[in-house]
Structure 1
Amino acid sequence: MRPGRLAAIAATVLVTAACAAPSGVAGISTLPTTSPRALPSDTGEPSPSPSADRGEIDAATLKPSGEPSGAASPRPKVTPPEGDEPVRVPPPKVSRFTYAFPVKGCRVSYARQQLVLPKSTIWAGKGCAFVAPVGGVVHEVNASNRWTASTDHGADREGRFVSIIGDDGVRYLGGHLDAVAQGIRPGVRVSAGQVLGQVGDSGNAKGQGTNLYFALSWSTSSKYWWVRRGMVDPWTYLDAWLSGNPTLSPAARVSAVRAAVGATPPCRTLCASKPQKKPTRRPVPTQTGDPSDVRRG
């Protein structure tokens, strides 16, 4: 056979093989080894959810619940059993004393920051009851209002006041009173909540609104009046006695301050009275001779 004839036959065989193979590289099959999965449109069955083979997620723990989706009926709603109201537990007792808020039977408001002295101004209506914060003995009583604006004596600024020495060792002062209760005098035994006087505006509270000057300190002689008017901030204890814990005691704090400053520290704030002006003595005219003796010129 002629060489040209053989070359033509070989070319025809190669072209036939190439056309019979699927698209791709000649001689390399691109057919899948397994039959393809039918599409949903081919079978009419819904496509499985991506999480169909996983359990439900617990919303509380964000972990699988262990129960496959749709495998069981919906869980029944849990109804908690009926019960009594919660039991109110009283605050812990932090001292052996029971305290009373110093104003009784009236709406009050009071300062919770130190302005000039460590004391609190308890705003209340005129005539509201000032009561003993704790059981104790009456220490000092001033039933008269000796304060005047012209002198502004420090010892008189609280006007009418009552102080007691509590069984906890703390001195409690209530000032600016309108009146002192009957029978309240030094040495008288009182109990927590007992009326000592009525709220007013005596002393330098005149014209400033009725209020109770309330202060904590320790027992001293009356000549150390600046100790009596307050040495420890009282509002933490007022808060507790009014709406928190009636056994919160200021005794430890008062004792610590006394140890730090001494029993009779010197006065350093609002100590001086106003200087007194001595009255000017005017000469009194005197007569010399008999006024009826008139000499005519």
Structure 2
Amino acid sequence: MRTGLIGRWAAVTGAVLVTGACSQVSGLAGVGATSPASIPAGATPPAATTTAQPVPSAEPQAAAGEQQPKGDDPIMVPPPKLSEYTYAFPVKGCKTTYQRKLLVLPKTTIWAARGCAFVAPIDGVVHEVSVQNLWNPATDNGAQREGRFVTIIGEDGVRYLGGHLDSVAEGIKPGERVKAGQVLGKVGNSGNARDTAPNLYFAISWKTGPAYWWVRRGMVKPWDYLDAWRTGNRTLSPREETLKLRTKLGETPACSTLCGGRQVFQAQPTPSRSQTPRPRRERERERGGSDSGFTLSPIAPSGQ
């Protein structure tokens, strides 16, 4: 009888062991098969533990003690060479502004402080120089409107004018060779700019004699070239445009804009009075009538 009882206990114990093993196998991987219902009431369930995975870096990490290589400095590419000539902006060392549109003549006014340096825009030879301010508002002679001025004939064959100068640099005279950037004078307001702020009258044309002063005052619009010489390409040349315009208009075209000065009338002495009695009407004129007793004759300004 004892043998039969021991056999039944062995059978029950084996069944329990098999059931527990099956329960553990049937659970999810890494998670116990015990049901939450088996957790005692009031007990706090254990927090789930997760292992943080490292986020891959977008940039390769240097090994310990290894220094990242530096990038090369940017390569400065020079502007394309547009001509064989190199130019300088005509006002040096000062803040400037200038007009970029046609007003009366194809020239520009470069506004700058008094005393700023007017420099040669290109290597060349001094052509004309006026060291005195000969302009007179009473006559407004066109040849003298720029007051003190210097012109040069550049090695590109183009003539450049700087006018309204306060002074002309020492040693600057016709025939003198100059280099681009060399000081030719100081900015001022001589000539017909006497009632304005200091400025440089800057004009581009071609070589003519002094009698054709209106050509000297400007034939080619200069602002595109000034823009390039100051902040763009210093090899942009007005030579081609200047030669084309000279071919079209001729070397000495007739003046068409701001050509004449003012006529000035000079009082002439009254002829000696005759001793012959004159009518009463003539005597009244002498005492202050409309005919005051002298004649006005026009005097043409020189250089017209």
Say whether the fold is shared (TM-score over 0.5). Answer: yes
Answer 1 or 2: which has greater helix percent.
Answer: 2
Q: Quote the residue 1:77 is aligned against.
A: 58
2:209 is equivalent to residue 225 of structure 1: no
Amino acid at match of 1:122: I
C-alpha displacement at 1:254, in angstroms? 0.4
Q: Quote the residue 2:39 is aligned against.
A: none
* Cα distance in 1 between the residues matched to 2:270 and 2:157: 55
Query: Counterpart of 2:265 in 1: which secondary structure?
Result: coil
C-alpha displacement at 1:240, in angstroms? 0.5
* Cα distance in 2 between the residues matched to 1:262 and 1:214: 22
Runs of 4+ displaced beyond 3 Å: 73-76, 78-82, 282-285
C-alpha displacement at 1:78, in angstroms? 3.5
2:102 is equivalent to residue 121 of structure 1: no
- Match 1:169 to one of 133, 157, 178: 157
* Cα distance in 1 between the residues matched to 2:243 and 2:59: 58
C-alpha displacement at 1:112, in angstroms? 0.4
Query: Counterpart of 1:224 in 2: which secondary structure?
Result: helix
* Cα distance in 2 between the residues matched to 1:78 and 1:114: 57
C-alpha displacement at 1:279, in angstroms? 2.1
Equivalence map 1:5-84=2 (5 Å)? 76-78=57-59, 82-84=70-72
Query: Counterpart of 2:246 in 1: which secondary structure?
Result: helix
2:137 is equivalent to residue 156 of structure 1: no
C-alpha displacement at 1:246, in angstroms? 0.7
* Cα distance in 2 between the residues matched to 1:144 and 1:128: 19
C-alpha displacement at 1:89, in angstroms? 1.1
Amino acid at match of 2:117: A
Q: Quote the residue 1:86 is aligned against.
A: 74
Q: Deviations over 1:260-288 (max 9, x none)?
A: 11110000000011111122436799xxx
Tell me how large the CA RMSD over aligned residues is. 1.8
Query: Counterpart of 1:248 in 2: which secondary structure?
Result: coil
- Match 1:107 to one of 80, 95, 105: 95
Q: Quote the residue 2:191 is aligned against.
A: 203
2:123 is equivalent to residue 142 of structure 1: no
Q: Deviations over 1:45-85 (max 9, x none)?
A: xxxxxxxxxxxxxxxxxxxxxxxxxxxx9764146964133
* Cα distance in 1 between the residues matched to 2:80 and 2:267: 62
C-alpha displacement at 1:93, in angstroms? 1.0
Unaligned segments of structure 2, at least 5 residues? 1-53, 61-67, 274-304
Q: Quote the residue 1:263 is aligned against.
A: 251
Identity of aligned residues (%): 60
2:166 is equivalent to residue 185 of structure 1: no
Amino acid at match of 1:154: G
TM-score norm. by structure 2 comes to 0.67
Q: Deviations over 1:160-204 (max 9, x none)?
A: 000000000000000000000000000000000000000000000
Q: Quote the residue 2:226 is aligned against.
A: 238
* Cα distance in 2 between the residues matched to 1:275 and 1:179: 29
Query: Counterpart of 1:227 in 2: which secondary structure?
Result: helix
Q: Which moved more, 1:81-90 or 1:125-134?
A: 81-90
* Cα distance in 2 between the residues matched to 1:279 and 1:123: 41
Query: Counterpart of 2:211 in 1: which secondary structure?
Result: coil
Q: Quote the residue 1:248 is aligned against.
A: 236
* Cα distance in 2 between the residues matched to 1:284 and 1:99: 66
Amino acid at match of 1:244: G
Amino acid at match of 2:89: F
Amino acid at match of 1:211: N
2:84 is equivalent to residue 96 of structure 1: yes
Unaligned segments of structure 1, at least 5 residues? 1-72, 286-297
C-alpha displacement at 1:114, in angstroms? 0.7
